[in-house]
Chains A and B, each alone.
Chain A
């Protein structure tokens, strides 16, 4: 029994726009394994990787590659929400164990929730909802939202709106632009004309860099404060330069957290990979920790699925972001931080929402 290696399938983007994220998650995961002396919950690990190319059309097939060809014990992936949703479907159908280390689509721990599906990152709803409260508290009344027109963006806006309007604010206009278009100028002009109290956006990666720079260059930054879901300024600060200085965002991770585990993690990561970790690395790291908790409980016998799942469900993950547990729908119940860009860091300012749990709408489990 102990001789058998645990087979871990990493289905992540290694090419294309999200390649850096896929690499960070992989690094985080492997760091956790290395820290366990090459073992996860006492079992040796064998990796199988598939580049999902962030291509939803290929997602079921790629997932099958790991499940059927490589017979992995756990599927870890991915970044892109559309791909992750397809993975969740496949996991439900094949009853494979799935840990989602990033993709925030609400459905994964909503209507699609299942005993064998876990997430160690967040739901789109979480940081956005927290931001809704923050902005209401900061006495903004009329707000314009802007995001790409795809479901993840729409869910972020919905989460924000829910909290913000409950707290008495008003979303005067929801603007969307076609994904992955990055010509923001018309929207900036429109925002300037609408003169809202503040703006809430969801963007990530190259689009986020360009948006933040364009927003500042249009002179809006000083007149209409910009807020966003944390991905706006994560992994992008180097590129955004001064334009991002002072921006407020909400996320389940931040720089300058006063948590020993975080310090230890950062030091280890930096020495192992010669670069600074980011939130994606944390999520990958926690995916490994979560699985380790399960493995430890069954002593590496993945056949004991029920016990494994039970252990994972009830685990408390000692994450660099702070300890968290899982909700009934298997999404982290975690603190959401309010962060401010200072220098090249997303410095924690406050806890925007304490132990925030996703409402898991539509989850029957």
Chain B
């Protein structure tokens, strides 16, 4: 591999890693911080992608679609927490597994009933549709770089929210002892509802943003589900930076795995996860 190729692969790895972070960001919040095992994360991602498709077709503009989609998914998240999740906090965590599995099936079928089972594409907005020439044969789409930039902004915002705002402290406190948080006069139920909605919105937002490059198809949610959990867990549950670092590591492992050991490329991510967790049984950035 010559140097240019290597550098481009490195760029690929970083870009993929950032994309993974984007997709996993909502899970970092709902699972990592709030401690809810949410298998339906992929469904929210899919929901977002389909919203991007449907709303872009309707409005003709991806950005307008994203704004509408954000409002819609926040509402859905709010209602789900209110109607379902909030009633399970006192129960065994595995009940959440069951609930969210049921939701996957329900969402997938609702999608099928409303939009059908076809594969769809979403156009990249005109202003971002250019490409940058990297080598004589290869160029890089601006939209991907735009996505990466959004991911970085998102990571910083999330880190700030979780680590440096009182709201962030309350959310984290809520995951360890809700009763005590209440005793401090904090309406943790409402906070959880809002944060859950935010998590759902992030997942959907990821789907909307990724729709133009990933296309929109049935079952797309299930495909990202496992990798999202891998990102959150390798990073250390509850750590935003951890998730970012983990996502980048996975990006590297996956990209160079495909190049260096193509026959075992499917294994690399799991090898990485097993290795990391055996080395650090609580993820890279174990939180206090």
Contacts and interface: CB of A to CB of B under 8 A. Distances in A.
B139 interface: yes
Given A181-B266, A238-B118, A240-B121, A20 B141 contact: no
Interface in B83-134: 108-109, 112, 116-121, 123, 131, 133
Interface stretch (A122-130, A203-211, A303-311, A328-336): A203-211
A223 interface: yes
Contacts of A193: 1-2, 4-5, 135, 137
A269 B13 CA distance: 46
A189 B9 contact: yes
Contacts of B223: 180, 182
B140 A218 contact: yes
A131 to B, nearest CB: 22
B37 interface: no
Contact of A192 (B13, B138, B144, B213): B138
A20 B255 contact: no
A235 interface: yes
A153 to B, nearest CB: 13
Interface string B250-263: 00001110110011
Contacts of A182: 214, 223
A16 B121 contact: no
B118 A187 contact: no
B61 interface: no
Considering residues B117, B119, B214, B223, which has the most beta carbons from chain A within 10 angstroms of its beta carbon? B119
Considering residues B141, B256, B265, which has the most beta carbons from chain A within 10 angstroms of its beta carbon? B265
Given A23-B117, A189-B12, A218-B140, A241 B123 contact: yes
B16 interface: yes
B8 A189 contact: yes
Given A182-B214, A210-B213, A219-B131, A241 B121 contact: yes
Given A186-B255, A217-B141, A219-B138, A206 B5 contact: no
B122 to A, nearest CB: 8
Nearest to A240: B121
Contacts of B2: 193
Interface string B10-53: 00110110000000000000000000000000000000000000
Nearest to B266: A178
Contacts, number: 130
Contacts of A58: none
B166 to A, nearest CB: 39
Contact of B217 (A149, A179, A209): A209
Given A16-B219, A217-B131, A217-B141, A186 B258 contact: yes
A235 B262 contact: no
A301 interface: no
B154 to A, nearest CB: 20
A146 to B, nearest CB: 11
B175 interface: no
Interface of B: 1-2, 4-5, 8-9, 12-13, 15-16, 108-109, 112, 116-121, 123, 131, 133, 135-141, 143-144, 213-220, 223, 254-256, 258-259, 262-263, 265-266
27 contacts: A19-B218, A20-B119, A176-B262, A177-B258, A182-B223, A186-B12, A187-B258, A189-B9, A189-B138, A192-B135, A192-B137, A193-B135, A195-B137, A206-B219, A209-B215, A213-B121, A213-B215, A217-B139, A217-B143, A217-B144, A219-B131, A220-B138, A223-B137, A224-B137, A239-B119, A239-B120, A239-B216
Interface of A: 15-17, 19-20, 23, 149, 175-183, 185-190, 192-193, 195, 205-206, 209-210, 213-214, 217-220, 223-224, 235-236, 238-241
